[in-house]
Amino acid sequence: RAWVSEIMLQQTQVRTVLAYFDRFIARFPELPALARATEDEVLALWSGLGYYRRARNLHLAARLCLERHEGALPDTLEALTALPGIGRSTAAAILAQAHGQRQAILDGNVRRLLARHLGETGWPGSPAVERRLQTAAEARLPTQRLADYTQALMDFGATLCTPRRPRCGDCPLRSDCHALASDQVERLPARRPAKPLPTRQAHLLVLRDPEGAVLLERREGKGVWQGLWSLPEATDAQAAEHLRIRLGAAPGRALPAFEHAFSHYRLDLHPSLHEVREAKARGEATQRWVGPAHYDSLGLPRPIRRLLESLP
**Per-position DSSP letters for 79-106, written without gaps between them:** HHHTSTT--HHHHHHHHHHHH-------
Residue 299 region by backbone torsions, left for phi larger than 0, else alpha for psi between -120 and 50, else beta: beta
Catalytic positions are 6
Mark out the alpha helices in the chain (DSSP H runs): 2-8, 14-27, 31-36, 39-46, 53-68, 77-81, 88-99, 108-118, 127-139, 146-159, 178-181, 237-247, 302-309
Among the listed residues 207, 217, 239, 223, the one whose alpha carbon sits nearest the alpha carbon of residue 288: 217
Closest CA to 85 of 105, 56, 109: 56
In angstroms, rounded to a whole number, what is the distance separating the alpha carbons of residues 306 and 81?
36
Helices 146-159 and 88-99, packing angle to 10 deg? 120
C-alpha span between 210 and 23 (Å, rounded):
33
| b/e 160-177 (16+ beta carbons within 10 angstroms → b) | bbeeeebeeeebeebeeb
Strand partners, 274: 207
Q: How far is CA 212 from CA 44, 216, 231, 292, in A?
A: 20, 13, 14, 7
DSSP string, 223-276: STTTT-EE--EESSHHHHHHHHHHHTPPP-EEPPPEEEE-SS-EEEEEEEEEE-
